[in-house]
Amino acid sequence: MRIRFLTLKSTLGSIIRSPLKGFQLLTGASSSNTQSESPEASIKDATEKRILRAPSAPTAIPLREIIYKVPGLFPRPLEDSVKDFRDFTKNEDSFQTELLATLPFYPNSSATKNSKLIKTVVDDDGNYINEFCIYPQAPSVPEADLKHLVFIHGYGAGLGFFIKNFEDIPLLNNEWCVHAIDLPGYGFSSRPKFPFKYPRDDIHSVLDWFHKRIHTWFKKRNLLNKPEKNIVMAHSLGSYLMALYLQKYEESPSFKKLILCSPAGVSHRDFDSGNSDVEKWKPPPWWYVKLWDKNISPFTLVRNSRQFGSKISSGWSYRRFKHILNGDPDQSKRFEALHRYAYSIFNKRGSGEYLLSFALKCGGEPRLPLEEQLFNGKNANVLKNSKYEWVWLYGDDDWMDVNGGLRVSKLLNDNLKQKSNVITVPNAGHHLYLDNHKFFNSIIMKEMQKV
């Protein structure tokens, strides 16, 4: 009981100290780019940007202050939160289809695009990977010659967060299919009991659990026949997974190009760099580290709050998605659907999200940095004879360290003779695919044109 109280207090304390810092630590939230309505609002937005740029430990504050400020932190009306809980109990799948139905080609096709949800079984226990597939109404090439773009989300997220990318990225010359998947144990994929516990189990065993299922998905979806026609775009912790995936399946590649979108776990912070953000970083308190390692997170709070879960989720979702409105009342339906979708995946049984404590230390430091595991020393031999292409994307207000990407990209170009490029997305934070979706989509289209 005491642990749950401390979790609630620390999470709410984090939220009050900086809007939804508790969620930000776990999902990499960043401030939106909505135009402010007043100078005061501009100052507030600028402050939020600075606060959310890098993860930091929460500060304990008096309980009376928490209670006083709670009503304004979670804007979802209570009656709507109760309704969301009831709807989730009746039919949780409806939250996903409700969001996808805001697209002009789902569930009914448009003049150029078809789409469908697919569940692909990926293990002997019948667990499946959930996929949203977009394909041309009239393909210009035989099915075997289609090119494929695969979207993979990050920690605590799901395929629905790419809604603005699904809508605007064209299936160039009707030669492309877009596949967005929920990682094993995430989103609307199966949520089996996670078979590992930190620190009892080894991170490599955990990674194998994910990689085998992802590889099975590629195989069953017939994407291994011509990997040179495949692009994978992975975000945050999904980037970390997919980079290490190359090491495991070096002799059976699944794709040619990997676009790492605000990747997690690239390198350790350089505490000798003199960088102002690094200098401000302070290690989190021991008790918060304990909660992190035990996978007690804000999602735990949502799941145990029943009728209040959607209201608590709104403290993150309303802030994160508010910029899609941008004064457009036609987007209000999508905004509502995005919130309900976020609530639904936060509220579902915890499973794949427990990878976090194996991959990252509390505060975001990697336990097994990609720079050491994949790109340096003898481990780099895995990539020497390959022809992979790399694109590293960072928001200009990202809390992920672009210096790690720059350093590894140079190593790839100079030592491993692979094509690698680092691009900064303006007016964007960690969720840059959503923050500046037009710029992001233009990059994706340019990479598609090169295939």
Tell me whether residue 193 is exposed, middle or buried, using C-beta atoms within 10 angstroms of its C-beta: 0 to 12, 13 to 18, 19 or more. exposed
Rounded Cα–Cα distance for residues 65 and 13 (Å): 9
Beta strands 389-395 and 419-425 are: parallel
236 a catalytic residue: yes
Largest CA distance in the chain: 65
Rounded Cα–Cα distance for residues 45 and 39 (Å): 10
Bridge partners of residue 233, in order along the sequence: 151, 259
User: From the candidates 236, 344, 357, 420, which is the catalytic residue?
Assistant: 236
Q: What are phi and psi of 135, to 5 degrees?
A: -140, 155
Rounded Cα–Cα distance for residues 244 and 203 (Å): 12
Q: Which of 69, 29, 67 is nearest to 49 (CA)?
A: 29
User: From the candidates 182, 397, 398, 401, which is the catalytic residue?
Assistant: 398
User: From the candidates 430, 431, 435, 437, which is the catalytic residue?
Assistant: 430
How far CA 99 is from CA of 204, 228, 263, 340, 418, in Å, comes to: 35, 32, 26, 8, 39
Given 3-state DSSP classes, what are the helix, strand and coil percentages for the chain, each rounded to the nearest 5?
Answer: 50, 15, 40
Bridge partners of residue 134, in order along the sequence: 115, 178
Rounded Cα–Cα distance for residues 186 and 345 (Å): 8
398 a catalytic residue: yes
How far CA 370 is from CA of 51, 253, 377, 409, 429, in Å, comes to: 26, 18, 12, 12, 21
**Which H or E run includes 147?**
strand 147-152
Residue 50, token pair as written in the block? 């600075």
Which residues are marked as active site? 236, 398, 430
